[in-house]
Structure 1
Amino acid sequence: MTPRPTHLRRRLTLALALILFPTALPALSWAATADSAGAAGTDLDSPPSDTRHTDADSRDRHVKDLDGVVVTASPLRDSADALSKPTEVLAGERLDEDRAASLGETISSLPGVQSSNFGPGVGRPILRGLDGPRVAVLSNGLSTQDVSTISQDHSPAVESFLADQIEVLKGPSTLLYGSGAIGGVVNVVDGRIPEAPIADGFSGRAEARFDAGDRDGSTAMARIDGGNDRFALHADAVYRNARDYDTPEGRQANSFIDTHTGSVGGSLLGDWGFVGVSAARFEDDYGNPGEPGDLAEGERGVWLRMRQNRYDLKGALTAPWGEGSGLRYSFGHTDYSHVEFEGEEVGTTFNKQANEGRVEASFAFGNGWQTAAGLQGGASTFEAIGEESFVPRTDTRSLGLFGVARKQWDALQLDLGARIDKVEYDPAAQASRDFKPVSASLGGGWKLNERWRLTANLDHAERAPVEEELFADGPHIATLAYEIGSADLRKEAANQLEIGAQYRNDWVDAKFSAYYNRFNDFIYIADTGEQWYWDEEDEYLPIRQWTQADARFHGFEGEATFHLADNETGTWDLRVFGDTVRGTLADGGNLPRIAPSRFGTQLRWSNPSWRASLGATRYQKQDKVAAGETPTAGYTLVDAHLAWHHDNDDTAWEVFLDGSNLTNEAARVHTSFLKDSVMLPGRSASFGVRVFF
């Protein structure tokens, strides 16, 4: 259906106003309501971008129920509940409520997922106790190609406020995305390259929010999509400005964030498939609260300025080899620069240029077999210039070939897969290294009846060491240590067994999983007991070296949503969840910075116009620490959400109020190198408006 001209003009006005003048929201809301007074209170068709009011059965109204969403990170384009591997999708209302400045904080409400912390500007996902180069962060299926794995104070170059959905593949995912996914994958899907015609020819969404309490800042975003059945165009933008936040123990100096990002894209569409391109710019300035300086003495702290240009091409062919077949391809080029300032002086500059390509072909054979095969390759050049250039300039090339297959027999599902990679490193003034990681997986699901489904997975995954683990040699000021790599490191191998169960009936949705992961030649950094004199600060830094030893990870995670009522008072849901992970060396001793156990609950209520929730998450104390590591006290974070939703002709408005850490808990993140000096914000609130059109 093509929108009427007056509606289209109003939609364009709203989009431009929200991009350029987010403070105009209240006036625009009143004007839009007055313009459609006759339709007020009438349940009309919702805008295509509105994730709240859709034609769905009662089960789909529950905010937790996202298992039917298609997981684009799977080459067979499965829904989450069809996968035998543990997969979570964050979308819709729940994603709106969880969006934060960092990707890790945004998805940390999911079982088995926590976040690193180097201040509010940096939060990389931690999956089942694994992080850094073991967790692949993707943007629409391709690597973000930043340097966030090089150092804990580096942020991923991805914007969660623009995501349509965020997909989390927990456990070894090397079959699909190579050795850097030995711990899992986080894929941010933002639709910058449209893959299908735009519903009604034009749609979009926008948001403006303002932080108060111990947080002080604002965020504005807008997205518009338009076209017809032959082409589609896309544009988006985000602006975020947050000042230093407060904690229960005072101001957290140098914790500011200033972010600008945006993109344009377009696609040609048809029954044959699609092909499209996009160009994006990411700018992020943020402080390092671990080195706050002293403004009273005129000394500014350490802060970071990140800039990335990204260009993507993506396409697909529909049924090129007959029904059930498909071909998808993508290519990305990134140009990344990251400058660390010591006050106003340039300390270290990190540069990276990268190209990555991927092709996936899927087939449907007889007897119910579904298969997919793919080829993925990349080349990058990384260099660091300055006093903290502890990793030499390195050229990296990689190539991987993979295949997966699935067979369904009524209640039984079998999944098979294998992958082989070749990874080559060519560092300046050092001998090159190459590795050939090989991975394989056997898994499946058994649907006992309409309520119960059991899953099991056996994975062998291998990971090639990364640049800093192999070639580091110098002071790493972010972690206050002198780091030494080992060019003789071997491949890291993980063998994981996982058992899962899903249960669903009219009043509860539940899923649980337990896993045991045995690592051979696990790569970690250890204290040598020696020190290095840092003459600039007249102090000694510990010398740490990357080394290998066998390690064990085992854990449990689960969640259940109880549908308490669905009647004239509204819909009532109670969600409970919990996770725990233990990481140890096989010969004894704990691994450092392992995420603590936690459990939480949330009560939700909603009706056609309102929704509200109140929840609490308890983080247990972490006293199972490595040598030289200090324990971290437990804490409880209480949060609440309130939103009023109004459908107004072809536009929907939502006014919301979110509260976090309502009990003003003193909270320190155990996974952070800065936990002894940096705390989470105290009691805070966010007020804002969302519009869908």
Structure 2
Amino acid sequence: MMTNSLLRRTPLFLALSLTSALAWAADPIDQTDPRHTEPKTLDAVEVKATPLADTAESLARPVEVLAGEKLDEAKANSLGETVSKLPGVQSSYFGPGVGRPIIRGFDGARVQVLSDGLGSGDVSTVSVDHAVTLEPFLADQIEVLKGPATLLYGSGAIGGAVNVVDGRVPESAPDEPFQGRAELRADSVNDGRTGMLRLDGGTGNGLVFHFDGLHRETDDYEIPGFAESARQLAEEGETPDPSTRGILSNSAVRTDSAALGVSWVGERGFFGGGYSLYSTRYGVPGHSHEHGEEHEGEEGEEAHEEEGPVHIVMDQRRAEARAGLNDIGPFKSLRARVARTEYTHTEFEGEEVGTVFDNDSTEGRVELVHQPFGGFEGAFGLQWAQRDFKAIGDEAFVPASKSRDAGLFWIGQRQFGDVKLELGARHDQNKIDIDESTAIGPDRDFDTTSVSAALKWDISDAFHLSFGLDRAQRSPTAEELYSNGLHVATGSVELGQPGLDAETANRAELGLHWHLGALKLGASLYHVRYDDFIYLADTGVEEHDGPVRLWTQDDARFNGAEGEADWNFAENGSGSWNLRIFGDVVRAELTGSGTRPVDFSVPHGDHTHDYSIELARGGNLPRIAPWRVGGELRWERGPLRASLGAVRYAEQDRVAQFESETPGYTLVDAHLAWHGDTSGGNAWEVFVDGSNLLDKEARAHTSFLKDVAPLPGRNVGAGVRIFF
């Protein structure tokens, strides 16, 4: 029934099915194609996020890469969910349409999301209900830079960066004159249908092209019980309607994405351009809300009007140009890229338009890799960006602003025998001009400087130690400075502080990697001490039927550890057997003691309510991911591969002031795939994926919706991939 609906409702599926059938009919199956029988080592994949070409294993700074079969198995509706099983990486959650990466406890404006080295151009840092406009299903590889990436990508990467490599503007000729891949997928938990197609080719005279397209539709997803948590039901003294059990209403998603890129590639370089679009519509679960307006003469009372479910319609158009040239005198290479993004995001309350967000941005980047100088291989870089942002509507809690950023950096590396040294420095200037008619404070200018040093010591061929020291700075965002009103997505009043200063992070990290035959071990310990850490604090005050939260800053520290073991423990007639175990933990807390007085005002129509409170200077920071441990058993034999895994998320009882605890949960998943190659060089793969197979209720502590929107229940997904 679901497959018939898929074919009937989605024309893209018909085209992909025809392509698949032609590929299978063309040639008989041949399992000896070396492209698919040779083992793939992710550590050896070149990391594209740095201008100095290197592999994840060779870099002194911690980097994770998803590619190949591992990426195929991890792909999900959101970028955050796709990378969430990497050590030290979890995901935010605001329904199935929204999931942003959280790296070692850092998220939002501290984690930069990139499309082949340039910012995504969306407004996912403005509000937790805004989606990232990058599609994991279209990626060639996804790179996660853990720890400050400010040297490369500026203030917004103080907690790390995630780079999605999709090759939409080709920089080299493909291996074959014409190649591509396609995928059809159906999911049971939400009657989901996903189809994608990617084509890459060249004419032989230097002209290279790229095309990709994706369509996804899902209905409301199934959950093990009721949407509201037992804690919230008990607090409200309510009994849920039995008819609402098992489905999370208003959680449907529809997404379309497409791109076309053309380049000329010569012996010494390339130049090209591309155009892409991303359109999505998704519901915000748990947000049929009451919208209050205070009427004249009704002091202290509000008349409430029930609004319909909140859903979001987002549209982004992006034009991009890239160029590269090799062997330029004292420089090995020059790379330049620029992107112009036009983004519109409309929040509907029922059928009525609530708030419209417009964000037009331009970002450019130039990288010059120089010849060895003083023994150092290195690169200079210049990056600049401008953003014109405005929000229109009764509940636009952030005023219109224009942001201008410029940064200059150098990174270098040198080998001293068995020791590799990496150094870097960067200076940024950030300027925010605010719309005077809606501003609660003046324009702001910031200068930030970041420096870094890292060592990698190859004690032996099998054992490596790394050590890193960083000093990184981040300037406040317009949202942290100037928010001033009801934030419908989180059901809270959000207040900025125009006087916030830049925050400074000092980090130390020790890492080790040990390769002993079939066994690989890796572990990291890190400590980050923040001066003037900016965070969103609950005040304990309620207005507009929700909590009042205040952007404020204080000193903080983050302590954490992560580890991973990968053991290929058997290779015999039964197949290849591999066991992977990983875990991570982070503790984040304010370092002060006692309390400090805070005064603030909450807007209420044409007047304000004034408050004076005592805010704790110590204690835990809010919405920090709990510790977890996971394992996965993998098996491969001939054309078949399978895996069974589980991740235990601990109870989070180290909570901030006015924050509730979150129970722990265990998620079990499994994957099965049957792969075949054809004599003509094509390949196909039939797969079945299962997630939350025990159908457990799971609520992410990092989510503002944890008490009204649990994670999806049991899901079985199945489909076919073809490679040609």
Same fold (TM over 0.5): yes
Contact 1:18 1:222 in 2 (8 A): no
In structure 1, distance between residues paired with 2:548 and 2:249: 28
Contact 1:370 1:405 in 2 (8 A): yes
In structure 1, distance between residues paired with 2:289 and 2:487: 18
Letter in 2 for 1:578: G
Letter in 2 for 1:507: A
In structure 1, distance between residues paired with 2:442 and 2:535: 22
- The range that moved more, 251-260 or 501-510, is 501-510
Question: Cα offset for 1:364?
Answer: 2.5
CA RMSD of aligned residues (A): 1.9
Is 1:642 aligned with 2:635?
no
Superposition pairs of residues 236-635 of structure 1, within 5 angstroms: 236-249=212-225, 250-292=246-288, 300-321=308-329, 325-365=332-372, 368-429=375-436, 430-532=441-543, 534=544, 539=545, 541-587=546-592, 588-635=618-665
Letter in 2 for 1:483: E
- Say which SS state the counterpart of residue 624 (structure 1) adopts: coil
Q: Deviations over 1:276-311 (max 9, x none)?
A: 1010010010000021579xx997410000000001
Is 1:224 aligned with 2:199?
yes
In structure 2, distance between residues paired with 1:556 and 1:606: 31
- Say which SS state the counterpart of residue 620 (structure 2) adopts: coil
- Say which SS state the counterpart of residue 703 (structure 2) adopts: coil
Contact 1:45 1:650 in 2 (8 A): no
Letter in 2 for 1:383: K
Question: Cα offset for 1:493?
Answer: 0.5
- The range that moved more, 185-194 or 560-569, is 560-569
Contact 2:16 2:183 in 1 (8 A): no
Letter in 1 for 2:279: E
Distance 1:452 1:388, change over 3 A: same
Q: Deviations over 1:63-121 (max 9, x none)?
A: xx311111111110211111111100001001000100000000001000000000000
- Say which SS state the counterpart of residue 437 (structure 1) adopts: strand
Is 1:92 aligned with 2:122?
no
Aligned length: 652
In structure 2, distance between residues paired with 1:434 and 1:234: 40
Is 1:659 aligned with 2:690?
yes
In structure 2, distance between residues paired with 1:89 and 1:643: 21
Question: Which runs of 5 or more structure 2 residues have no equivalent in the other structure?
Answer: 1-7, 226-245, 291-304, 593-617
Question: Cα offset for 1:326?
Answer: 1.0
In structure 2, distance between residues paired with 1:260 and 1:427: 33
Question: Cα offset for 1:18?
Answer: 14
Distance 1:19 1:305, change over 3 A: closer
Q: Deviations over 1:308-347 (max 9, x none)?
A: 000111111112126x711111100000000000000000
Distance 1:163 1:31, change over 3 A: closer
In structure 2, distance between residues paired with 1:156 and 1:69: 25
Question: Cα offset for 1:618?
Answer: 0.4
Aligned partner of 2:13 among 10, 22, 41: 22
Contact 1:18 1:207 in 2 (8 A): no
In structure 2, distance between residues paired with 1:632 and 1:99: 26
Q: Deviations over 1:637-682 (max 9, x none)?
A: 0000000001012210000000000111110000000101111111
In structure 2, distance between residues paired with 1:428 and 1:367: 49
Aligned partner of 1:204 among 180, 189, 202: 180
Contact 1:403 1:418 in 2 (8 A): yes
In structure 1, distance between residues paired with 2:541 and 2:337: 47
Contact 2:20 2:722 in 1 (8 A): no
Question: Cα offset for 1:32?
Answer: 4.1
Contact 2:540 2:658 in 1 (8 A): no
In structure 1, distance between residues paired with 2:267 and 2:487: 53
Aligned partner of 1:43 among 14, 32, 37: 32
Letter in 2 for 1:83: L
Partner of 1:179: 155
In structure 1, distance between residues paired with 2:60 and 2:19: 47
Contact 1:619 1:636 in 2 (8 A): yes
Letter in 1 for 2:13: P
Distance 1:485 1:96, change over 3 A: same
Partner of 1:8: none
Contact 2:31 2:639 in 1 (8 A): no
TM-score w.r.t. length of structure 1: 0.91
In structure 1, distance between residues paired with 2:18 and 2:443: 62
Partner of 1:5: none
Partner of 1:77: 53
In structure 1, distance between residues paired with 2:172 and 2:712: 41
Distance 1:331 1:19, change over 3 A: farther
Question: Which runs of 5 or more structure 1 residues have no equivalent in the other structure?
Answer: 1-16, 47-52
Question: Cα offset for 1:19?
Answer: 9.7
Q: Deviations over 1:379-408 (max 9, x none)?
A: 110000002211111000010000011110
Contact 2:642 2:673 in 1 (8 A): yes
Letter in 2 for 1:259: T
Letter in 1 for 2:663: A
Taking only the aligned residue pairs, the percentage that are identical comes to 49
In structure 1, distance between residues paired with 2:339 and 2:58: 29
- The range that moved more, 475-484 or 108-117, is 475-484
Distance 1:274 1:20, change over 3 A: farther
- The range that moved more, 355-364 or 25-34, is 25-34
In structure 1, distance between residues paired with 2:89 and 2:315: 27
In structure 2, distance between residues paired with 1:330 and 1:35: 40
In structure 1, distance between residues paired with 2:262 and 2:477: 35
Q: Deviations over 1:413-433 (max 9, x none)?
A: 111110000000000114210
Letter in 1 for 2:630: G
Distance 1:450 1:18, change over 3 A: farther
Is 1:671 aligned with 2:702?
yes
In structure 1, distance between residues paired with 2:495 and 2:26: 66
Contact 1:25 1:689 in 2 (8 A): no
In structure 2, distance between residues paired with 1:483 and 1:224: 45
Distance 1:348 1:25, change over 3 A: closer
In structure 1, distance between residues paired with 2:550 and 2:18: 59
- Say which SS state the counterpart of residue 247 (structure 1) adopts: coil
In structure 2, distance between residues paired with 1:332 and 1:608: 44
Distance 1:406 1:35, change over 3 A: closer
Letter in 2 for 1:659: G
Distance 1:609 1:477, change over 3 A: same
Contact 2:288 2:306 in 1 (8 A): no
- The range that moved more, 130-139 or 523-532, is 523-532
Letter in 1 for 2:271: V
Letter in 2 for 1:361: L
Partner of 2:596: none
Distance 1:27 1:347, change over 3 A: closer
Distance 1:118 1:391, change over 3 A: same
In structure 1, distance between residues paired with 2:106 and 2:658: 20
In structure 1, distance between residues paired with 2:435 and 2:18: 59
- Say which SS state the counterpart of residue 208 (structure 2) adopts: strand
Aligned partner of 1:215 among 172, 190, 201: 190
Contact 1:18 1:206 in 2 (8 A): no
Question: Cα offset for 1:367?
Answer: 5.8
- The range that moved more, 515-524 or 77-86, is 77-86
